[in-house]
């Protein structure tokens, strides 16, 4: 959960009353995040977004955009991706307290420096489309992760296609 690492650095002594309050507040925030994530999951499933995988990775809800999103060496947002992003923007507009970290990824084609920049550009372009659809830019962050987090085997063409993707991570509430 975004922010808990920083808060944890200032956590009161385990035997103090402040620690009990801290734990109660943390549990309430985690419960609120979990409920928000379930609501988003329900919205995505209701829209039948076949090209969006929903995953829970270590307590983070991730909407992974898939299905050949980007060509090799390209950050262009194609028509199919724009359509799916418009649907996701609709979900975000009806859930205004959700913030998203847009994470761009690449396959291992090319060198790692180029892939890092390409992944950042992919994430930035997705943020631009969401903002064009009315999502407040202050709710969106972006970053490129290059080729560091493949979800498929980069030794096959099919695997490389799957790795050229963008993930939308629900990070916290406003």
Strand arrangement, sheet containing 52-57 = 52-57, 60-65, 166-173, 98-104, 140-144
pLDDT at site 33: 63
Q: What is the pLDDT of residues 140-160, one digit of tens each?
A: 999 999 999 999 999 999 999
Tokens, residue 80: 């199919």
Is pLDDT above 60 for 5? no
Q: What is the pLDDT of residues 40-69, one digit of tens each?
A: 666 666 666 666 777 877 778 888 876 667
Residue 6 has pLDDT above 60, yes or no: no
User: Given this model, what pLDDT does residue 2 score?
Assistant: 42
pLDDT of residue 129: 95
d(CA 41, CA 30): 16
Distance from C-alpha of 80 to C-alpha of 123, rounded to nearest angstrom:
16
The chain-wide mean pLDDT, for the chain, equals 82
Q: Which residues pair with 142 in a beta bridge?
A: 102
User: Which residues, 6+ apart, have CB-to-CB distance to 52 below 8 Å?
Assistant: 44, 63, 64, 65, 66, 84, 88
Q: How far is CA 121 from CA 128, 133, 168, in A?
A: 10, 18, 15
């Amino acid at each position: 959960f975004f922010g808990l690492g920083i808060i944890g650095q200032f956590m009161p002594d385990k035997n103090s009353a402040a620690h009990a309050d801290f734990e109660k507040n943390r549990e309430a925030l985690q419960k609120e995040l979990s409920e928000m994530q379930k609501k988003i999951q329900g919205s995505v499933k209701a829209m039948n977004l076949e090209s969006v995988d929903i995953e829970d990775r270590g307590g983070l809800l991730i909407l992974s955009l898939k299905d050949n999103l980007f060509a090799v060496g390209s950050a262009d947002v194609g028509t199919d991706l724009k359509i799916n992003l418009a649907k996701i923007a609709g979900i975000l507009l009806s859930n205004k307290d959700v913030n998203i970290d847009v994470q761009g990824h690449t396959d291992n084609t090319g060198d790692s420096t180029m892939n890092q920049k390409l992944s950042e550009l992919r994430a930035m372009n997705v943020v631009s489309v969401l903002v064009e659809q009315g999502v407040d830019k202050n709710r969106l962050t972006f970053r490129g992760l290059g080729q560091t987090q493949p979800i498929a085997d980069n030794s096959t063409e099919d695997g490389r296609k799957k790795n050229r993707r963008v993930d939308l991570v629900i990070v916290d509430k406003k």
